[in-house]
Amino acid sequence: MTMLHTVNKSPFESNTFDTCLGLAKSGSTVLLIEDGVYAATSGNAASDKIANANGISFCVLGPDLQARGLESKLADGIKVVDYEGFVNLVAEHDTVQSWL
């Protein structure tokens, strides 16, 4: 079973991101969307957690990153996807867990 997790809350505002990381298993993918994209920026506590999360792939929704003016702050190792890429991720995984 491969699972796609989506996170739409800022890691600095709620513990959604931490909860997701705690329950995501190796081989799963975490897609950061809406205010969740702040976790994809470099130089903060969230980027350290991403760097230390072994076996989990991280993606971020490009349009949400652009909207917030943060493209240049993207941390290493995170793949940017567009809406089509979002759909592909959903199709490629067995289940989708939307953390709210």
Partner 1 sequence: MAIKKFMYINRKAPYGTIYALESLEVVLVGAAFDQDVSLAFIGDGVYELTKGQDTKAIGQKNFSPVYSALGDYDVNKIYVEKESLEERGLTLDDLQHLVWEDEDEDYAEKDSIRLVSRAELADVLDEQDIVLSF
Could you list the residues that contact partner 1 (CB under 8 A)?
Answer: 8-10, 12-13, 34-35, 38, 41-45, 47, 62-64, 66-73, 82
* 89/96 Cα distance (integer angstroms): 9
Cβ closest to partner 1, residue 16 vs residue 29: 16
Cβ closest to partner 1, residue 13 vs residue 92: 13
Crossing angle of the two packed helices 16-23 and 45-52, in degrees rounded to 10: 10
Over its C-alpha atoms, the chain yields an Rg (Å, rounded) of 12
Cβ closest to partner 1, residue 53 vs residue 70: 70
Min dist CB 53 to partner 1, Å, is: 18
Min dist CB 1 to partner 1, Å, is: 30
* 50/69 Cα distance (integer angstroms): 21
